[in-house]
Structure 1
Amino acid sequence: MAFSTAKTKAWFVRINGSQHMFWLLAGLSFLETIILPIPIELVLIPLMAVNRQRLWAMAAATTLGCLAASLIGYGVGMVLFQSIGTWFIDSMGMQDAYASFQRFFNQYGFVAILTLGILPIPFQIAMITAGLSGYPVLMFALAALMARGLRYFGLAWLVHRFGNRVILLWKRHALMTSLIVGVVVLLVALGMQALASLVM
């Protein structure tokens, strides 16, 4: 695996050797979900590659960190949208994306959250929109857990299967893979929703 600077390599080695690696991963996932623009995969995949006996625990820690951040974002949308929520959307330049997702969410709810959690689109939009709309928090948490669990446990499986090559595969194909998986999940979920409505 390649690191761009000695400082980055030293930071990676420090995390890898830490007794609190799982907490650090959960914290990084929390920060990425809330505000950091740097994909956690840049750290997670190399760590998984050298800790293949702990792949699934690392995926679980990362997923739980994301879930905790998602619930805070939901709370911001529910309680503090007029202050923190609008400031965050404006400062991140998400006005158009927020308006578009709000229309999508109003129509599809759970499916919209699940899809956005997989697609390479800031998940903060889904968190704030769900909280603002009063969408049931347990359903929101379930959608976030499924979407991000698929993302991180999928990475763990890829590292288990392909080892160090996954970082190169991810850099080359992450966007296209996310789009394909997101579209497939959307189509399957909408199909199930349509089937359920026919049965009911």
Structure 2
Amino acid sequence: MLRRLYDWTLSLAARKSAEAWLAIIAFVESSVFLIPADVLFLPMGLARPEKLWRYAMVATVFSVLGGIAGWYLGHYAFEAVAKPVLEFYGKLDAFEAMRASVGYETLLLLLVTSGLAHLPPIKVVTILSGAANINLGLFIVSAILARGARFFFLAWLLRRYGEPIRHFIEKQLGLIAGIGAALLIAGYAAYRYVA
């Protein structure tokens, strides 16, 4: 099922309505959808490199709006809506473990790392941010910085290197971003330990 969903998402890049689909996928990825917007963003950017910055802006704006929707789900509708979504994706246990073990500052750090590298999945962190009552303004600023950095960095890579970088992005960028996120978390942990 996951492969079919991935292939369907990828097929949207060839449509005339691809930009609208990018907005929709970026929105729902941040709160309920499993496939990242990158799957659609990459082929769209390669097909129309002159529109890369526009696509990055669309993906960022709608990803942040989707994150806000996830925050509201966690804050106002956790039991009725968010919990069943997390159960459906098999993320409820991870969510509950995070909810029990993370503080306010750690949650903001996780928001940044999930926005950059999908570690942990962004939908889990957006819902958790609402459930933990993270300040919505601070949440929005963090989401803009993290998601904007991700999409604009991808746009820059595609603009600079074109098609040859696509396979690197698809295979290795997640690993590199994950290592960067782990280093960010380790740096934060070291700072907290020293302070």
- TM-score range, shorter-chain basis? 0.7 to 0.9
Tell me whether 1:13 sits opposite 2:14 in the alignment.
yes
C-alpha separation in 1, matches of 2:77 and 2:164: 43
C-alpha RMSD over aligned residues: 2.6
In structure 2, the residue matched to 1:113 is: 111
The residue matched to 1:157 in structure 2 has which SS?
helix
**Aligned twin of 2:145:** 146
- Distance in 1, matches of 2:77 and 2:184, equals 31
Identity %: 21
TM-score by structure 1 length? Answer: 0.80
Q: How many residue pairs get matched?
A: 186
Change (3 A) 1:144 1:107: closer
Amino acid at match of 1:65: F
State the match for 1:69 in structure 2.
Answer: 66
- Given that 1:111 and 1:190 are in contact with CA atoms closer than 8 Å, whether structure 2 keeps it comes out as no
Contact map agreement 2:74 2:127 (CA 8 A) in 1: yes
Question: Does the residue aligned with 2:15 lie in a helix, a strand or coil?
Answer: helix
Structure 1 distance, partners of 2:74, 2:21, is 26
TM-score (norm 2): 0.82
Structure 1 unaligned spans of 5+: 1-6
Give the Cα separation in 2 of the matches to 1:88 and 1:51.
Answer: 34
Deviates most, 165-174 or 62-71: 165-174
Deviation at 1:109, TM superposition (A): 3.2
Q: Secondary structure at the match of 1:109?
A: helix
Displaced runs of 4+ in structure 1, greater than 6 A?
Answer: 7-10
Greater radius of gyration (CA):
1
Pairing 1:46-65 to 2, within 5 Å after superposition:
46-65=43-62
> 1:105–1:112: 8 Å Cα contact kept in structure 2?
no
Consecutive unaligned residues of structure 2, counting only runs of 5 or more, are 1-7
